[in-house]
Amino acid sequence: MLKLTRFSGSGVFLYIAFFVYGFVSLCAQLLLLRELGVLFYGNELFIGFSLGLWLLWVGAGNWAGRRFPAAAFPWLLTILAFALPIEITLIRFSKTCFGFGMIPGPVETLMTTAVLLFPLCFISGSLFSAGCSFSKDRRLDAAGIYCLESFGAVAAGVTYTFILAGRFSNFFTAWGLGLSLIIANYLLICTFVTRKKFHTVFFIFYLLFFLGASFSSLDLKTRRLEWKGYQFLDSLDSRFGNLVLTQTGNLKELFRDGLITASFPDPRSHEEIAHWPLLAHPDPKDIFLTGGAATGELREILKHPVRRVEVAEIDGSLFKFLKPVLSPGDLAALKDPRLRVHLVDGRFFLKHTPNAYDCILLNLPEPSNAQINRFYTQEFFQEAKKRLRPGGILALAIPSSENYLPPQMAFYNSSIFLTLRSVFKEVSLVPGTPLIYLAHDNPLNLDPGTLADRTRERGLNNTVVVPSYFGIKLDPARVQFFLDKLTRGPRSDLNRDFLPVTYYYSWKVWLLKFQDPTLFLWAFAFVTLFVLVARFLRRRKMSLSWRDGSAVILTLGFSGMVYEILVLLAFQAKEGYIYSQMGFLFAAAMSGIALGGWVGARKKGYSPKQNSLLLSAQAVLGLLLAVLFSFYDAAFRYFPAIILFVLLMIPIGFIPGYGFASLARSFSPAKLYTADLFGGGCGAIFTGLFLVPILGILKLYYLSAVLLFAIGWRLRRKKAGG
């Protein structure tokens, strides 16, 4: 074990070490969330679950770290430096455990995430307790460490969002973060530890290892391992997510955050989404397309005598990424003078453009996550309708079958159909695989003879969408069968931005694929484990109490994480591409925590009234957030969204930060920190997996506020009576 010398310096290197620890912790969290997003197909519900597990394991590490000697702190920093790149490798390797092309079920998903996050999070949590012991009698208390860690996290969020993301691969970034830990640790050791030669050699070793890892193909090799079983072609970590290109025979597949978004060349799918809406319109001149512009659909659209095609694609690196594998026809389409490409989110573009269109085509995957679901909500359909000329058509395609619609899929598809019907006067169907919706206000002529005439007049030479096919696809009995399935079954709710029921129905369809009696055994095991842990903590005198502030901090941590997850989901619903701004939003929350900690650390003394005041303040914040999001579209249409959400994150972090720092001077910091982490962890898990799917964003804010008011009122009554 290291031998510590007596402190004789200014302590600046100690401050740097805790700052870097906070910096690396948040960057590691962002990196692992992106990696896990690929593993679980970009489903944002697992953001909450992953964040929750992160906090729970960090809390466990913090509790265990109280038994570590002070000299363990530098060693833990060193271990953490190596743990992050190893963790990324393990996440990528874990995908091969599910089998080629297999989608993991709920048990596999939850257990894999729990196991993968444990090592890194446990080490990170142990660092806080060991750091408190290390800095004891060195002019830095727990509140100071809390603030330094938070300031490091603020810097990390900004740095990752605007510098690291999209410029460097996740693997390269992980090694760089490890190097920063080694440097901070080396400076710390030079100040406090006698055996410096050994650590100088170790520092040089890691530096050389970092350079070797950086300039090798380790990132692509681990990606290739992640996609074992596929013919892997290439991968790119862009600012907006991970892109992977694979090949099966002559068919190439594009994956975005693990979810397949395009297969090409695939004449059937390209022709279906392009030609049905354009043939249904008597004279389509101006077209808007989002999704699939480079993989075949654009080429099919340009077969028609259109005047202008506008494409919105927020990730400009996508075109460069796909260029080497595109066909000559697709490359020619991208150079067509009628094409205008806008490097912006499709929904944002439609909301703010003054242009009007004859057809708006959504060539997107099914709404299996919040990022895609935001293009299937009532609010988006209203925005799209405003950009259609009289007689214009909004077209989209969703998964279906040629002649049968299972009840669960019918319920899921009907939510989209009914949401369209709530905005447009009519929604016409083109049955098949996929099922195509044509939403319009004016009467639409889908007579097979008329469509055949338009095909000949426009000189279309199609492979699939041909005149001999029209009568079969548009058979009245077939259309009526699908219409009955969508309208006469159990009525589904409308899909809204803040109550994305289609997204949740898709989640339920996914769960039904894995119905297994062992799920109940796992649930029973989880409850049993929870009870055993609670009894263990009680015997160890770690039970929560309102008197020592731990129950208050746990409640603030729980509600604060609920608020934070809801803000993230609201941002995804309205603005999209949460992974590109998550670091910035986390930085805002951490700045609130740091500011609250700085203010709370200056508070002298403790009053029992403080507990109820903190809970009441948190309740008021929940009500304000609920009201704000209720009037979001009307009140903040022209206000920069990222600024608004950043401003919302600051008070969400301020109240828990203030509560911890103010109580840490009077009670056990380690116990309070553990309560904070466990509260936040439980809040994130329950919000992501249960509360949001059941209640939606607005109702959950109101419910949280009511419960906090009730707890605060109960505490005041208890103090008054006691």
CATH code (residue 398): 3.40.50.150
pLDDT the model gives residue 61: 87
Amino acid at 269: S
Q: Is residue 86 domain-resident?
A: yes
Q: What is the distance between the alpha carbons of residues 649 and 590, in angstroms, rounded to a whole number?
A: 8
Residue 425 located in a structural domain: yes
What the block records as the tokens of 680 is 């936040």
Band (pLDDT 50/70/90 cuts) for residue 624 is very high
- Omega before 305 cis (within 30°)? no
Same domain flag for 105 and 23: yes
Q: Which residue has the higher pLDDT, 388 or 3?
A: 388
Residue 210 has pLDDT above 70, yes or no: no
The residue segments making up the domain with residue 95 are: 9-231
Which strands make up the sheet holding 435-440, listed edge to edge?
339-342, 308-312, 286-290, 357-362, 388-398, 435-440, 426-430
Taking residues 108-135, report their average pLDDT. 83
Cα dist. 346→109, 288, 380 in Å? 31, 9, 10
Q: What is the mean pLDDT of the chain?
A: 81
Tell me, yes or no, whether 555 and 693 share the same domain.
yes
- CB-based contact 333:339 (threshold 8 Å): yes
Tell me whether residue 248 is in a domain.
no
Q: Residue 254 pLDDT more than 80?
A: yes
Q: How many folded domains does the chain comprise?
A: 3
pLDDT tens by residue, 24-50? 999 998 999 888 888 777 677 677 788
Burial track 111-148 (b if 16+ CB lie within 10 A, e otherwise) = ebbeebbbbbbbbbbbbbbbbbbbbeeeebbbbbbbbb
If pLDDT is split at 50, 70 and 90, which confidence band does 527 have? low
Same domain for 162 and 37: yes
Among 206, 231, 256, where does a domain finish? 231
Same domain, yes or no: 604 and 484: no
Phi-psi domain of 168 (left: phi exceeds 0; alpha: psi -120 through 50; beta: other): beta
**What pLDDT band is residue 392 in, cutting at 50, 70 and 90?**
very high
Tokens of 691: 């509360």
Written as one letter, the residue type at 235 is S
Q: Are residues 280 and 199 in the same domain?
A: no
Q: At 43, is the secondary structure helix, strand, or coil?
A: coil
In a domain, 313, yes or no: yes
pTM for the full model? Answer: 0.84
Are residues 576 and 475 both part of a single domain?
no
For residue 295, give the 3-state DSSP assignment: coil
Range 132-159 average pLDDT: 77
Asked if 44 contacts 569 with a C-beta cutoff of 8 angstroms, the reply is: yes
Indicate if 33 and 122 belong to the same structural domain. yes
Long-range contacts: 187-191, Cβ < 8 Å, 24+? 187/13, 187/16, 187/17, 188/13, 188/14, 188/16, 188/17, 188/74, 188/77, 189/2, 189/74, 190/13, 191/7, 191/9, 191/13, 191/14
Same domain, 376 and 490: yes
Residue 520 pLDDT exceeds 50:
no
Q: Is the pLDDT of residue 240 over 50?
A: yes
Residue 531 inside a domain? The answer is: no
Domain check: are 294 and 192 in the same one?
no
Looking at 160-195, list the stretches that DSSP marks H as alpha helix, in order from N- to C-terminal side. 170-192
Residue 520 maps to a domain: no
Q: Please check whether residues 331 and 389 belong to one and the same domain.
A: yes
Q: Is residue 528 part of a domain?
A: no
Of 231, 258, 289, the residue that ends a domain is 231
CATH of the domain at 170: 1.20.1250
At 468-490, the pLDDT tens digits run: 888 888 899 888 888 888 887 66
**Is residue 438 within 8 Å of residue 280, measured between CB atoms?**
yes
Residues 51 and 151 in one domain: yes
The pair phi, psi for residue 339, each rounded to 5°, is -90, 135
**pLDDT greater than 90 at residue 621:** yes
Percent of the chain with pLDDT over 90: 21
Same domain, 276 and 218: no
Classify residue 563: in a domain, yes or no.
yes
